[in-house]
Structure 1
Amino acid sequence: MSLRSIVFRLWTHGRAGLRNWQPASKILSVSVRREASSTPAQRHYETARQILANNILRRVTNPVSSDLRKRTTKQLFYGNSTPFFAFVGISLASGSIISKEDELDGLCWEIREAVERMEGSVSEAESDLFESGENAELNGFVIGPLIGKGANAAVYAARKAEQAERESNEGGPKFDTESPLSAFPFAMKMMFNFDAESNATAILRSMFRETIPARMHCISGDFVPWMQSMYEDLSVVPPHANVVAMHCAFVDSVAELPDSISQYPAALPQRINPSGYGHNKTLFLLMKRYKMTLKEYLVSERVEGREAVLIAAQILEAVAHINRHGVAHRDLKSDNILVEIGESGPAQIALTDFGCALADKKTGLVVPFRSYDVDRGGNAALMAPEVARAAPSLLSGIDYRKSDGWAVGAIIAEMLLGWNPFYRSAANPKPLQSLSYSEPDLPVLPDPPILAAVASALLTVNPAKRPSAEFAANILQLHLWAPSDWLKSQNPPSNSELMQWLLCLTTKVLTTSSFGVRRSEAEYRLIGSFLARLKLPLVRHALAWLR
């Protein structure tokens, strides 16, 4: 058997195992980090990766390539792909390698690994908030003004307390409602606890869905084994540029926060409000503070053209990411999408509020539906037809694999029209309903044509004919970044052209030292999301759809 055949089999059989592998959510025992250990699958894949690199590297003999070959072999051992990309770039320019499908697949894997490492480093730096031995507790933060309130939680602006402030916070958290919002980089979400007992076990069991995107769980050491056991059955969402940056989740006592008596008196415990129904302890979620929700942004700004495509692509990337990791949001709407507005460039969005999410490894995204008591999810207005029309029986189930994509289609229609066709409003007195909807009922959507076409495709009643969120994201990514002649020509690009383009994108993402020169941070991170899940067959399929 040739070396190439051996390598091809290693890649083919190794991918299937790694596709289903995902790192466990970090759990802190008194804020001590638990480092992930290397798995046998990882070690096996690293070996295959080095074999593939050596197989490709032997095929070039010029002096420059010889030097790069030595550097690449050495650096790959330590997980650094930079010399590898330099070598492949020279080889592509000379047209000497990267012709076989297995070699292309191996290079795509290198690109995914390099971008994922970069994104992981960014996320780790964002959430590196606590010193060794430091507890995550409400007293460790300065609480600012109330910035949002819903039926299940209140959200406050927050910042970490300085050492002197922490020492003076022994009687409770310090408040600061006078400073501007720009002084508070975080948002502290306090869940309303009406049902769970005032202990960490009961609270986390009751509200575990809210913590799905949490990067750390700060709990006492007694609960670590229980938490590990629970999270073995729970699908968690790794950090992503378009999923809310939830730095940590912790349980603490409810405090009398600013405006709590006037805004949510019933949620307070009786020690604060004698007429309250809340319990003494609850779950707190520390997140990045975003500017506003997408719903508020659409009211204040007219979103159209390229900006609309960029926002839709980010939403689809977020949905593709959570679906790929076994999670269905089930409550997608413009209220649950946060918007960060930079100094220049388009808005950066983040998916939030996972309280209605489906995240069970045992059932996956198809839930047995034997009675009407089964929870179908949150927002009924944007519920996909296969969910809304499902009827219980002994062998039936509800398929959520493409239900979030349907909701994204409705949100895109809301961006283009200025109103959501599934919501009742002055502009839409007769809203569409999932129970009776058919494709001709959808109003004519304005430009851009690519976005109108994607929204219409996502609002296809039959889920078998509806594109997945990942496929729809690929379409918009190619529309944004691919050479325009690819989209006009009837002939697909060659393998060499595809790889040159992908390597060019990868180089830009990995080597950009600052944003805003040519593209914004939102655009570079959007490209990074595309590269981090890169698969050539899906790219070719999306190109065929566009042509």
Structure 2
Amino acid sequence: MSVKHAISRGLELGRSVLQLGLLKSGGRVAAKLRADRFRVGPSVRTVQPQAFLPSRYRYYRTSLRGLAAQLQSAGFRRGFTGGSPRNRAVFLAFGLGVGLIEQQLEDDRKTAATCEEIQAVFRKKKFQSPLKSLSSGYKLEDYIIGNQVGKGSNAAVYEAAAKFVPPKQTDSKSSLVELREDEEEVQKPRSLTCCSLKKFPLAIKMLWNIGAGSSSEAILKSMSQELVPAGPLALKQEKEHITLNGDFGVLPRRVSAHPNVIRVHRAFTADVPLLPGAQEEYPDVLPARLNPFGLGNNRTLFLVMKNYPCTLRQYLDVTSPSCRQGSLMMLQLLEGVDHLCRQGVAHRDLKSDNVLLEFDSDGCPRLVITDFGCCLAQSDSCLQLPYNTTWVYKGGNSSLMAPEVITALPGHGVVIDYSKADAWAVGAIAYEIFGDHNPFYRAVGLDSRSYQEKQLPPLPSTVPADVQLVIRLLLRRKPSQRPSARVAANMLHVSLWGGKALASQDSAGMKKLADWLLCQSAVVLLKGCRGPSGNRVEAELQQSFLSNLDLEDLRTALGFLLYGREQQHACILSA
């Protein structure tokens, strides 16, 4: 759009808006008087759409109608008090502004429409869990239990397999949870496995029941948070009517399937058996019939999930991922956290021990977030927890609590906002992913209560500058200055696949952005379940990105990247 055309168009629009304002001003007054006279209920104010202005005007963003109203009001006041060159300048500036902003809005409307169309296409592609949930498997006797593969503060995990069942007729339903026939073979380092995944494709988590009683209803109510990632057929149908109160007396949320969130395929209560290593590993939580000095109840909750080779911590203890793999791993955590946040769930205990890991056909790590025993997932919470007494539980692992959570003091009207707390934890875990010590564990010495951002240790020089920027932003103390998991994920998506050309928010940049989004969509659709390099993990990440497209979040991410790159360039010049 040429300057001459913008000026003429702006003047024309300004003149027409001015004429409409003069002609309609009396009508508005009369309508307002009539409305005030005959109003029965409270007035309803419609929300005006926000104008997408360049990032340098982000503090002055307002609707175009609001801007026009302000300038009209100022112009009318000056006009009625006497004409002057200043008045004419105001109206000329208004005309020019309307013309230029209108063109910017038109470009943004086109890009927003493109985002909505792409989002609609990819939201139809639902994630399919690698385990097919079938009609049975609701008893402990349906499974062969192997060795212990993990133990935490409230549960033990064992490898398991469904008992062999002779093939049924095609019109009958299978009775066990089985692996999908077309499931690809998982590749993994032998040193990371504690069992044969082919022999034991499932894992059974046995919760420790101390004080929840031995009735199924009491157990499900007490441990309802563990059912947040449960599938629709996880509980037996007759159990679904039980009101799963949770800790606050309301029904907990259930999250939909996502490639970076664990899926619970079966959940049932059963008598606690004497499993391998029980007497040595956790004798105190066994029931009295198994250990005379045990404090546990006779029955407890069992969860059936897919078996994974190792945790993220175990993997990082023996392997150093490449920078690209590390970026993909961090991006998967952000995508998983964003999925939980969108559905009103805060994990509140995110750490490398609570992230499981497997490998796709190219050997790229795939991460899933697990262990929801500490989560905030109440149906009416909106990620905000009233904190009026010290008895309110704030979450697990105080070392990785976000500053706004760990420093909260109980009081009347105090509310803890968890909307960005898990994203902060991802920033801390990123140090481990890129081969460094977690700065918030005691060995390093930083405390989330009191640390200053300048005290954060530098990341290895091999970590890309954009990734370092994302980590520094995630670890900001103030939530208002910290990007959400969605914005941080968008920054990594653009950095990995968009190149530096997209870090621009002018008209040319918006056209490049729309073209890039369309190109990415075409590539993902053509490649199907595999990414541009044949990588299944990358394909899942790109599908997740495209299914959650939002222009404002994307522009915010681009603004952060542009700011970071400008700062980096300034540092290079000063050096």
TM-score band, normalised by the shorter chain?
Answer: 0.7 to 0.9
8 Å CA contact 1:345, 1:516 repeated in 2: no
The amino acid that maps onto 1:433 is D
Is structure 2 residue 484 aligned with structure 1 residue 468?
Answer: yes
- Normalising by structure 2, we get a TM-score of 0.69
- Partners of 2:236 and 2:398 lie apart in 1 by 38
Change in Cα spacing, 1:281 to 1:113, as seen in structure 2 (3 Å) is farther
Change in Cα spacing, 1:290 to 1:221, as seen in structure 2 (3 Å) is closer
Change in Cα spacing, 1:116 to 1:328, as seen in structure 2 (3 Å) is same
User: Per-residue deviation at 1:363?
Assistant: 2.8
- Partners of 1:407 and 1:219 lie apart in 2 by 31
Is structure 2 residue 454 aligned with structure 1 residue 440?
Answer: yes
Partner of 1:115: 122
8 Å CA contact 1:295, 1:334 repeated in 2: yes
8 Å CA contact 1:486, 1:492 repeated in 2: no
- Partners of 1:241 and 1:517 lie apart in 2 by 18
Partner of 2:545: 530
Partner of 1:294: 312
Partner of 1:216: 232
- Aligned pairs for 1:63-462 (under 5 A) are 104-120=111-127, 122-123=128-129, 126-131=130-135, 134-163=136-165, 180-216=196-232, 218-227=234-243, 233-425=251-443, 428=444, 431-446=445-460, 447-462=463-478
User: Per-residue deviation at 1:135?
Assistant: 4.6
Change in Cα spacing, 1:459 to 1:218, as seen in structure 2 (3 Å) is closer
- Partners of 2:195 and 2:416 lie apart in 1 by 48
Change in Cα spacing, 1:347 to 1:201, as seen in structure 2 (3 Å) is same
8 Å CA contact 1:219, 1:251 repeated in 2: no
Worse-superposed segment, 189-198 or 440-449? 440-449
User: Per-residue deviation at 1:238?
Assistant: 1.2
8 Å CA contact 2:123, 2:547 repeated in 1: yes
Change in Cα spacing, 1:501 to 1:238, as seen in structure 2 (3 Å) is same
Equivalent in 514, 517, 525 of residue 499 of structure 1:
514
- Normalising by structure 1, we get a TM-score of 0.73
Change in Cα spacing, 1:454 to 1:518, as seen in structure 2 (3 Å) is same
Q: What are the Cα deviations for residues 233-276 of structure 1, in whole angstroms up to 9, with x where unaligned?
A: 32222111111132232222222223323322222223333333
Change in Cα spacing, 1:257 to 1:165, as seen in structure 2 (3 Å) is farther
Change in Cα spacing, 1:490 to 1:320, as seen in structure 2 (3 Å) is closer
Change in Cα spacing, 1:469 to 1:204, as seen in structure 2 (3 Å) is same
The amino acid that maps onto 2:473 is A
Worse-superposed segment, 353-362 or 513-522? 513-522
Give the greater-gyration-radius structure (CA).
Answer: 2
Change in Cα spacing, 1:357 to 1:179, as seen in structure 2 (3 Å) is closer
User: Per-residue deviation at 1:200?
Assistant: 1.8
Change in Cα spacing, 1:161 to 1:423, as seen in structure 2 (3 Å) is same
User: Per-residue deviation at 1:535?
Assistant: 0.9
Q: Secondary structure at the match of 1:316?
A: helix
Change in Cα spacing, 1:109 to 1:200, as seen in structure 2 (3 Å) is farther
8 Å CA contact 1:474, 1:539 repeated in 2: yes
8 Å CA contact 2:231, 2:256 repeated in 1: yes
Q: Secondary structure at the match of 1:278?
A: coil
8 Å CA contact 1:475, 1:543 repeated in 2: yes
The amino acid that maps onto 1:144 is G
Change in Cα spacing, 1:190 to 1:384, as seen in structure 2 (3 Å) is same
8 Å CA contact 2:229, 2:264 repeated in 1: yes
User: Per-residue deviation at 1:314?
Assistant: 0.7
- Partners of 1:399 and 1:517 lie apart in 2 by 38
- Partners of 1:179 and 1:328 lie apart in 2 by 32
- Partners of 2:293 and 2:283 lie apart in 1 by 8
8 Å CA contact 2:146, 2:159 repeated in 1: yes
User: Per-residue deviation at 1:515?
Assistant: 3.6
User: Per-residue deviation at 1:391?
Assistant: 1.4
8 Å CA contact 2:400, 2:448 repeated in 1: yes
- Partners of 2:150 and 2:482 lie apart in 1 by 35
Change in Cα spacing, 1:538 to 1:218, as seen in structure 2 (3 Å) is closer
- Partners of 1:219 and 1:415 lie apart in 2 by 35
Q: Secondary structure at the match of 2:559?
A: helix
The amino acid that maps onto 2:133 is L
The amino acid that maps onto 2:155 is A
Q: Secondary structure at the match of 1:226?
A: coil
RMSD: 2.9
Change in Cα spacing, 1:358 to 1:117, as seen in structure 2 (3 Å) is same
8 Å CA contact 2:344, 2:381 repeated in 1: no
Change in Cα spacing, 1:397 to 1:229, as seen in structure 2 (3 Å) is closer
Q: What are the Cα deviations for residues 80-134 of structure 1, in whole angstroms up to 9, with x where unaligned?
A: xxxxxxxxxxxxxxxxxxx7755654543343343233234x23xx342323xx3
Change in Cα spacing, 1:513 to 1:361, as seen in structure 2 (3 Å) is closer
User: Per-residue deviation at 1:453?
Assistant: 1.3
- Partners of 1:104 and 1:228 lie apart in 2 by 44
The amino acid that maps onto 1:109 is E
Change in Cα spacing, 1:223 to 1:185, as seen in structure 2 (3 Å) is closer
8 Å CA contact 1:247, 1:287 repeated in 2: yes
- Partners of 1:250 and 1:118 lie apart in 2 by 30
Q: What are the Cα deviations for residues 426-456 of structure 1, in whole angstroms up to 9, with x where unaligned?
A: xx3xx10012111111112222222221111
Unmatched 5+ stretches in structure 1 = 1-11, 16-98, 167-177
Q: Secondary structure at the match of 1:464?
A: helix
The amino acid that maps onto 1:119 is K
8 Å CA contact 1:331, 1:379 repeated in 2: yes
Q: Secondary structure at the match of 2:126?
A: helix
8 Å CA contact 1:157, 1:187 repeated in 2: yes
User: Per-residue deviation at 1:478?
Assistant: 0.8
Change in Cα spacing, 1:393 to 1:196, as seen in structure 2 (3 Å) is same
8 Å CA contact 1:412, 1:451 repeated in 2: no
- Partners of 1:302 and 1:480 lie apart in 2 by 20
User: Per-residue deviation at 1:179?
Assistant: 7.3
8 Å CA contact 2:221, 2:244 repeated in 1: no
Worse-superposed segment, 108-117 or 195-204? 108-117
User: Per-residue deviation at 1:358?
Assistant: 0.7
Change in Cα spacing, 1:515 to 1:377, as seen in structure 2 (3 Å) is same
- Partners of 1:371 and 1:460 lie apart in 2 by 27
User: Per-residue deviation at 1:298?
Assistant: 1.4
Q: Secondary structure at the match of 1:246?
A: coil
Partner of 2:82: none
- Partners of 2:457 and 2:149 lie apart in 1 by 35
Q: Secondary structure at the match of 1:538?
A: helix
- Partners of 1:320 and 1:179 lie apart in 2 by 32
